[in-house]
Structure 1
Amino acid sequence: MFGKSISDLMIKPGKSPVFETPDSFGLDYQSVTFPAKDGVELSGWLLGESTDQVIIQSHFGVQCSRCGYTQEGKGMMKNALWTSDIHFLNHAKYLVEAGYSVFMYDLRNHGDSGTGTTPWVTWGVEERKDVLAAVDYVSSLPQFEHASIGLLSICMGAASTTFAYGLEPALKNNPKVKTLIAIQPLTYDYFVAAMGLPKFLIDAGNEYNHKHRDVDLTGDSFLPYAKDISVPTLVIQNRQDPMTNLDMVQQYFDDLQVEKEMLWLDLEKKRGAAYDWIGHNPTPILEWFQGHMGLRRAAI
């Protein structure tokens, strides 16, 4: 019983609805669907009118969708991540206003995307196929024939992107992808440990994952693949984040073999603080994308 409960908490997709749409933020958009290489149908939005620069967002996992996180339906856990809803359309709006197109999509088993070949969250292993699919889809659109692509990858989105760089040569070799912002990359082991669970519960959850859900999340996860990222990378991390291990984040940054920068934040002691922060602090996000995607955009 303990094992299933821990497993459900960590890898069973929670309520991750697409709870708002871009028009409520004054943004025009197009709804699209596109396939991953294993046939899973993914769902997304394309915002903005730029034909030469596009940002692809990969969101965090379990209880999130392309538009962010809603407390509705989360019960007693609704304040564990953050104290209110997190609106990713806030940063989409300032990116569009700065002159970028933005592609926001739901990872498999989240939002309006289809069920994966496994119905469980794999913390980036399977979800890497979705990152590749999003990049390939955007790259294939006629309006983006000559576009530069930037990746905005959040938590499990960052893990998925890192796995994709290590395991999907098509991403590493795509010349359109120019840069990455990785926001709070997090391995499963450190996340579980940071929650303060006793070892017997962690072991029970891992055993249940392996025996009943054919998912093994022990080990170094995506960390060995940080060295395979081939584009300039900005890593953003809240020092007060209670659900991570800062040495692990530092290791991820240290292992990057590209031009890189670390942005440490001092925010509230909640995991979601940094996710909310990016929606209200455009300067570092825009400066990084503007500095690594060729053509300079509108003034910040």
Structure 2
Amino acid sequence: MLGKFIANMVTVPGDSPVFETPEKYGLKYETVTFKAEDGVELSGWIINPGMDKIILQQHFASQCSRTGYTPKGKSGVKLWDTDITFLRQAKHFTDHGYSVLMYDFRNHGKSGKANLPYVTGGVEEAKDVIAAVKYISKHQDYKDASIGLFSICMGTNATSLAFGIKGGLENYKNIKAYVSVQPLNYGDFLQGMGMPRFLVNRANNVNLGRGGKDFYRVPYDNLKKVHIPVMVFQNSNDPWTNMNSVKKYYDTIPTEKVMVWADLEKKRAAAYDYVGAKPEEFVEFFNKYMK
């Protein structure tokens, strides 16, 4: 029972409402849907449509949607006391001439349910990232556009895993740059929360037994297929992350890259909030490579 409880902490999608819309920020947008290779229908928006460069934004997992995280209605420990609103950085990107595709991962927000109703740390969600890139690459309005990937937490694991698999991102030369915000694996995450290794292993066995993926799987082999410049952004005070794992993640990337260590509040979600409050450095990075 304890193993199942711990496994559910990080693999049950939880309440992930799409709690606001682009109108709040005065943004023009289109509602879109597209399908992953296994048939899961994904729901999202293209904001500020029609530009010749577009950011694809991948959110983090449990209790998060394309719009971010809201503490409203949440019970137990809350990740953050106020809304973490990803539309803030979307507006900033649009102010600098970008379109933005924001979409919900499988089992989150308004996207469809998968046969496996759990968060897999990016393994199954990598199909969604590939689907988003494929959708934009074939879209009449964006087939000649440059693509930037802006991926957060589980979203960055999914993006990294999407390199080097069937139909992988290494095949898309229109992808020009990639920002990875706080990559992690769930094994490190749970141990960072104070769980002893033997309990994490017990939870991992539960997860594997019901068709989930290994908590300790890190996409190092996939990262070797990355062919674009990468920024890795990490709160150096994040208590739930093994910084050596982040360093290894960064060191494995074979292309031009930059590591940003931010001195933020001692909470993991501080970085998620920061990317909307201070998005200038991310825009500057994309501007360098997306002409």
Q: Mark yes or no: TM-score above 0.5.
A: yes
SS of the equivalent of 1:242 reads coil
Is residue 264 of structure 2 the alignment partner of residue 267 of structure 1?
Answer: yes
The equivalent position to 1:278 in structure 2, one of 251, 254, 275, is 275
Aligned to 2:223: 226
Q: CA deviation at 1:133?
A: 0.3
Q: Is the 8 A contact 1:234 1:260 kept in 2?
A: yes
My pick for the range that moved more, 275-284 or 178-187, is 275-284
C-alpha separation between the residues in 2 aligned to 1:268 and 1:164? Answer: 31
Structure 1 or 2: larger helix share? 1
In structure 1, the residue matched to 2:44 is: 44
3-state DSSP of counterpart to 1:274: helix
Name the CA distance, whole Å, in 1 between partners of 2:166 and 2:80: 33
Q: What secondary structure does 1:75 align onto?
A: coil
- Counterpart pick for 2:139 among 114, 138, 141: 141
| Count of paired positions | 291
After the TM superposition, list the runs of 4 or more consecutive aligned residues in structure 1 that deviate by more than 4 angstroms.
Answer: none
- 3-state DSSP class of the match of 1:142? coil
Q: Deviations over 1:141-174 (max 9, x none)?
A: 1111210000001111100010001214442111
Map of 2:83 onto structure 1: 85
User: Quick check: 222-231 or 155-164, which moved more?
Assistant: 222-231
Q: Within 5 Å, which residues of 2 pair with 1:138-287? A: 138-211=136-209, 213-287=210-284
1:9 corresponds to 2:12: no
CA contact (8 A) 1:43 1:113 kept: yes
- Cα 1:92–1:221, aligned 2, differ >3 Å: closer, same or farther? same
Aligned-pair distance for 1:220? Answer: 3.4
The answer on whether the counterparts of 2:188 and 2:216 sit within 8 Å (CA) in structure 1 is no
What is the match of residue 298 of structure 1? none
Once the two structures are overlaid, the 10-residue window that deviates more, 201-210 or 254-263, is: 201-210
How much does 1:181 deviate?
0.3
SS at match of 2:276: coil
Deviation at 1:7, TM superposition (A): 1.4
* Structure 2 unmatched ranges of 5 or more: none
Counterpart of 2:106? 108
2:126–2:161 Cα contact (<8 Å) kept: yes
Root-mean-square deviation (CA, aligned residues, Å) is: 1.2
What TM-score does the superposition give when structure 2 sets the normalisation length?
Answer: 0.97
- For 2:12 and 2:217, locate their aligned partners in 1 and report how far apart those are by CA, in whole Å: 21
3-state secondary structure, aligned to 1:165: coil
Gaps of 5+ in 1: 295-300
Whether the 8 Å CA contact 2:179–2:230 is kept in 1: the answer is yes
Q: CA deviation at 1:38?
A: 0.7
Q: Give the conservation status (yes or no) of the 8 Å contact 1:52–1:148.
A: yes
Contact residue 132 and residue 168 of structure 1 kept, 8 A: no
Q: Is the 8 A contact 1:187 1:222 kept in 2?
A: no
